[in-house]
Structure 1
């Protein structure tokens, strides 16, 4: 999988050859066909495995930040901590940025890449819980999760050119704080 991902990221799907992937992995071409049936399934598997790792990291982040909210006084600090960690990861992970660019390039040919939004759904679950506890007013948790994600990562992604240019930690914090303030202006329980 790692070898396939490396070749797909370097060459794109169309130019990546099974021969190159086999050579990178140190296996025979036949082995790849025996396990995956072909380049398409290998590609989808490599992207899915990479996304699963990113989703686990995201879930761990949610547990360390948003799941720790006890009362209304904790919300802003927890959302800022979440946003800073998430935005920093998004802006500094060259693999994440490369996988995102690859998915964007190939989405027309592989619409299955759009199936599911596990990170949005995991965040929506947390926001739904905060709504039920009366700590936020979130009529549509999936939409609110999407907005929060965009507010804390969008400006950082734009300034980092999707991970190509470093953004200073102080700038990330400033941008995230602004995004959280906007989010809370819309969703804070009254």
Structure 2
């Protein structure tokens, strides 16, 4: 029996709500630091970013505001994947594209943080001594946080897709979003960005 768009059971909605909470909660530090707050800045992010934050560098503040807004958009995306009644087929394809793109991007980014941190701890790669404590934050907080958010978006997209009657276009859109995010991430990594 195929589920209709508006009849997905309540327990199946948890990934969308988890993605929404992830986005909204993750937006808080961005907005806090953009408004001049400094709690957590010196111990949890890289020294180069700390310096920009403490100097209130206009470019860095703009990046914080933009990333905060993007995280709120991610939260809204999580909610949109749960509340499907209003979305037509074209919008559902866009939701799939965005959710799979966000999910793959976040898992990739977080896995890089965790992987690098574990390699540092295994003494297979070295970091400057002043980066070691920050590396632990990226390994055990930021990396898993990104991976968890990515998994929530991918699960929410999967639940959303399973509730759709005509899935072919939405499935293609999801594949394009996920593959596009992977290509973009790999290109950024090769270019030394992020």
TM-score, normalised to structure 1's length?
A: 0.35
TM-score, normalised to structure 2's length?
A: 0.34
- Asked which structure has the greater RCO (Cα within 8 Å, sep 6+), the reply is 2
Larger Rg: 1
